[in-house]
Amino acid sequence: MVPLTIASLTSIGHFLATSQAAPVMLSLRHTPDDEAILTAKLDKFERWSAVRTTLQVLTFFVLMWALIVGIDRRTLISRGDSCSFLQEQN
């Protein structure tokens, strides 16, 4: 359950970072052709995109962790291994 909670939180973080990055990129079409202004906006977009990328990669690995935990638990149960923790989960 912990991996899925973490994955949910990182997904929400990714959504929030996107809500900050998207308006910056969309505002470029109305930005004057001034190198300083464009550089500032693109730098801001780059920072938010780095946050988004980090959160998305973390979400992927946490979901892989959740799959491994789920598969291990089902494998142990199907083999009939006795583990009180696993039996309490079902």
* Per-residue confidence band for 80, with pLDDT thresholds at 50, 70 and 90: low
The whole-angstrom separation of Cα 25 and Cα 46 is 10
Q: Which domain holds residue 26?
A: 2-89
| pLDDT digits 0-9 by tens, 9-55 | 999 999 999 999 999 999 999 999 999 999 999 999 999 999 999 99
For residue 87, what are the CA distances in angstroms to 65, 76, 78?
Answer: 20, 10, 11
Q: Classify residue 81 by burial, with Cβ atoms within 10 Å: 0-12, 13-18, 19+.
A: exposed
More confident residue, 52 or 70: 52
Q: Classify residue 17 by burial, with Cβ atoms within 10 Å: 0-12, 13-18, 19+.
A: buried
Average pLDDT over residues 52-66: 96
Q: What is the number of structural domains in the chain?
A: 1
pLDDT for 89 beyond 60 = no
Query: pTM for the whole thing?
Result: 0.73
